[in-house]
Amino acid sequence: MPASPGRLRRSAPRGAAAEVVEALLAEVPEPQRSGLTGAARHAYAAHAERVHGTRTPPRVGD
């Protein structure tokens, strides 16, 4: 029996993870932000972690 679509869906980030996702989304231009799905947001956070060494975006002037 195939798995139901609900079982394949991951839950939304909670707590600190949700704050990190929102901080990352603040760095994405609005036209791109509207098209991001939950999975795309996680991919963007994972990319930021690989490139910058942290899931939070670099701050200008630090």
Residue 56 burial (10 A CB sphere; 0-12, 13-18, 19+): middle
- Would you state the pLDDT for residue 17? 72
Distance of CA 59 to the CA centre of its chain: 17
pLDDT band at 48 (very low <50, low <70, confident <90, very high): confident
Is position 2 within any domain? Answer: no
Give the predicted TM-score (pTM) of the model: 0.31
Q: Residue 29 is part of which domain span?
A: 12-52
Is position 58 within any domain? Answer: no
Q: Taking residues 32-38, report their average pLDDT.
A: 65
Is position 18 within any domain? Answer: yes
Is position 62 within any domain? Answer: no
Number of domains making up the chain: 1
Is position 57 within any domain? Answer: no
Average pLDDT, the chain: 67
Is position 1 within any domain? Answer: no
